Amino acid sequence: MSLTTAPAVITEPASTTRISLRIIDPAAVGAGLGLAFPTKIGARTVAGARSVLCLGPDEWLVQAPEREGEAMTEALAAIGTTLPLSAVDISDREITLALSGPAVLDLLAIGCPRDLAQLPVGSGCRTLFDTVQVVLTREAPDRFHLTVWRSFAPHLQALLDIALRELATGL
Amino acid sequence: MLLIRCPYCEQDLPELEFAYAGEAHIARPQDPSSVSDEEWRDFLFIRSNPRGVHVERWRHVNGCARFFNAARETVSDRFLATYKAGEPRPDIASLSGEAR
């Protein structure tokens, strides 16, 4: 059997700034950052290279290119002088893996209990992957970004590697 | 696997994302030092443990991280209703009618 067409490919995108935001006034904070904050859990808006994913009723995950991290921190500090907010820089706490390919749903199904085929493109969710909490975003029908705490990444990568080999051999 | 409806996410999601958190609608006494030992024991330890509809707290810990309440039939393990924390308990009689 030829292995030239891989069922799925795992890559690591360039490192990004990630900020965990707990706020009560998403509209005001969004205006300050130039991002429209979605209020439906799982919804995500992308503006240029920045994106914001709604994880809970008062919790958002903001992602931006690494070089914009400092500007982002300063903007949030300025907003924080007038609005109550909690912004935690979790850029180094987590890493993102990009999973793509025709079998990406089968690959994720080895560890994720959600029906990810139902996850709309452009949205995301926080869920489990083999007992590890992860944040999944669907970038395209066959492309997901999986964000996980750095210390769990070797475990996840080992699992995914085994699954990739199984998928490649048609198991 | 059970599917549980999270009232905050407004989706039916796998049980693995949730954590059970005990019986719901148990209010801590406002002034603990004024209650008797028996009342304090009842608050801490005595639970209804019914055969039938049980109102209990759950937390969507691997999701939106919110606590909410659920009415579950303990015999069939069916979830009859879930509702946000702070909302009043639903009408148990109409729910148990649905369960049969």
Residue A106 sits in a domain whose CATH number is 3.30.1360.120
Q: Would you state the pLDDT for residue A1? A: 45
Q: Would you state the pLDDT for residue A19? A: 95
Verify that A33 and A49 share a domain, yes or no.
yes
A chain contacts of residue B12, beta-carbon cutoff 8 Å: none
- CA of B15: which chain A residue's CA is closest? A113
Verify that A9 and A20 share a domain, yes or no.
no
The number of domains in chain A is: 2
Residue pairs between chains A and B whose CB atoms are closer than 8 Å = 38
Domain that holds residue A112: 2-13+93-169
Verify that A124 and A149 share a domain, yes or no.
yes
CA distance A61 to A45: 11
Which residue positions in chain B have pLDDT lower than 70? 96-100
Final residue belonging to a domain, choices A24, A58, A89:
A89
Q: What CATH number corresponds to the domain at position A46?
A: 3.30.70.1520
> Hey, what's the torsion of the CAs at A33, A34, A35, A39, to 10 degrees?
70
Can you tell me whether residue A120 is helix, strand or coil? coil
Q: Would you state the pLDDT for residue B29? A: 94
Does the distance separating the beta carbons of A133 and B62 come in below 8 Å?
yes
CB-side exposure of A7: number of CA atoms within 13 Å?
A: 19
Beta strands A132-140 and A124-129: pairing type?
Answer: antiparallel
Does the distance separating the beta carbons of A56 and B64 come in below 8 Å?
yes
Q: Would you state the pLDDT for residue B94? A: 77
Tracing tokens 């590890």 back to the chain, one arrives at A132
Cross-chain CB nearest to A57 (options B1, B62, B64):
B64
**Order of strands, sheet of A44-47, starting from the edge strand that comes earlier in the sequence:** A44-47, A50-56, A59-65, A16-23, A85-89
- Kindly give, in sequence order, each residue whose CB lies less than 8 Å from that of residue A130, ignoring residues fewer than 6 positions away: A110, A111, A155, A156, A159
Q: Which of B13, B84, B76 is nearest to B95 (CA)?
A: B76
Q: Would you state the pLDDT for residue B44? A: 96
Q: Would you state the pLDDT for residue A40? A: 95
Does the distance separating the beta carbons of B16 and A126 come in below 8 Å?
no
The predicted-structure confidence for A34-74, as pLDDT tens digits, reads as follows 899 999 999 999 998 899 999 999 999 999 999 999 999 99
Final residue belonging to a domain, choices A71, A89, A107:
A89
Each residue's pLDDT, cut to its tens digit, for chain A (171 residues) gives: 445 578 899 999 999 999 999 999 999 999 988 899 999 999 999 998 899 999 999 999 999 999 999 999 999 999 999 999 999 999 999 999 999 999 999 999 999 999 999 999 999 999 999 999 999 999 999 999 999 999 999 999 999 999 999 999 987
Q: Would you state the pLDDT for residue B95? A: 74
Verify that A123 and A78 share a domain, yes or no.
no
Verify that A126 and A69 share a domain, yes or no.
no
B chain contacts of residue A126, beta-carbon cutoff 8 Å: 62-64
pTM of the model: 0.89
